[in-house]
Structure 1
Amino acid sequence: MSEALTQPVTALGGARFDGLISVREMPAQGMISLRGDLALPPVKNAATGVAGFDMPARRAAQCAGQRGLLWMAPDEVLVLCPYDEVPAAVASMEKLLFKFHSLVTDVSDARAMFELRGGGLRDVLAKLTPADMSATALPPGELRRSRLAQVPAAFWLESEARAQVICYRSVARYVFDLLKSAARPGSAVGFH
């Protein structure tokens, strides 16, 4: 098998746009959805053992590099790890959770991730989501599951100048084009 066939392929081949902010499709990211009782020690251990972070608080995102834990719902976290580690991580988590009501799913190839950089990212996102993008409603490190125009997405600010967006891979082009349009030069609103 050729090397090219074994490398992960992102939805948009690393698409990038520079305007009011920069929008960049991230390289392939390992993503494992873990559903279960997040208060159970084995569930916590399965998530934290792979991610290397403590279990996140409600609506929190804890990330560094390719590793992280994202609170998605009262019974779900998204575990981030390097793409090539996903099969071993899933096997390890399933083994640890064998006797517990839980679901471990590799969603790496079903999602796309974008990085937003620049001082106007709150305004860019506010053009697209009904979520309150004010600094008091969405401080850095807090995750939102909402919509970007007509599609579901999750996003969080790592800082006032850097954010991450996750959407379904099937709508990656749509989301990239939305972000690109909202970040068009000359379209600043200066609200946030």
Structure 2
Amino acid sequence: MFSAISALNGASYSGAVDVAETGLRGMISLRGDFASKDFAAAVWQVLGAALPAQRKTVMGKAGRVVWMSPDELLAVVEYGAAPKLAADLRTALAGQHHLAEVVSDARAVFSLTGAGWREVLAKGAPVDLAAQAFGPDDMRRSRLGQVAVAFWMVDDQSCELVCFRSVAAFVFDWLKTAAAPKTLPGYFQ
């Protein structure tokens, strides 16, 4: 019998900040016309969330909805709920140009927790992570050590980062190295 496991089976590291693979997370890639009232209504009906603004995230009844591009959202939901939610989205969007596919097993999610999480990400992501430029519910698609990632701020003490499963071990090792004790420059503190 098949039993799903996350990319790194919940690996964690405690250094200047805590880095942890969050385990199995459901993810749905949803594409469509954000200007369509019917598209927005379907997202509200199924995910319980309004469409997020550009480079933002919103929490809905099913989980976090992340803006990924002008026509793409990423719904981060409970792992077991993703297939049904994707099917419900396809039903709600019938007749409209759209894509709603489960991508849970193609991705890995990491949490960074601690006051220095901005410092860790700034070591490898070419993004302005100053508090006035990157705040709660902000997200960015970027690179980390030349690997594609997306990350969003959860609160002042934490953020989450998603990458392709195929590079999860590299990203985890990169984050561990960047979060080594006594290596944070203190630029944002």
TM-score normalised over the length of structure 2: 0.94
Distance 2:47 2:19 in 1: 25
Partner residue in 1 for 2:84: 88
Partner residue in 1 for 2:120: 124
Identical aligned residues as a percent? 42
- What are the superposed Cα offsets for residues 27-84 of structure 1, whole Å, 9 maximum, x if unpaired? 2111101111012122223323333222111111123797111011111111122111
1:13 is the counterpart of 2:9: yes
Partner residue in 2 for 1:154: 150
Letter in 2 for 1:116: L
Counterpart mapping for 1:41-56 below 5 A? 41-56=37-52
**Aligned 8 A contact 1:51 1:81 in 2:** no
Distance 1:14 1:52 in 2: 28
Please, what is the CA RMSD of the aligned residues?
1.5
Distance 1:53 1:90 in 2: 15
Q: 2:171 aligns with which of 171, 175, 190?
A: 175
TM-score normalised over the length of structure 1: 0.93
In 2 relative to 1, CA 62–182 (structure 1 residues): closer, same or farther, beyond 3 Å? same
In 2 relative to 1, CA 65–119 (structure 1 residues): closer, same or farther, beyond 3 Å? farther
In 2 relative to 1, CA 141–75 (structure 1 residues): closer, same or farther, beyond 3 Å? same
Aligned length: 188
Letter in 2 for 1:188: L
1:77 is the counterpart of 2:44: no
Distance 2:148 2:26 in 1: 19
In 2 relative to 1, CA 63–178 (structure 1 residues): closer, same or farther, beyond 3 Å? farther
Distance 2:46 2:170 in 1: 31
SS of equivalent to 1:17: strand
Letter in 2 for 1:86: A
Partner residue in 2 for 1:29: 25
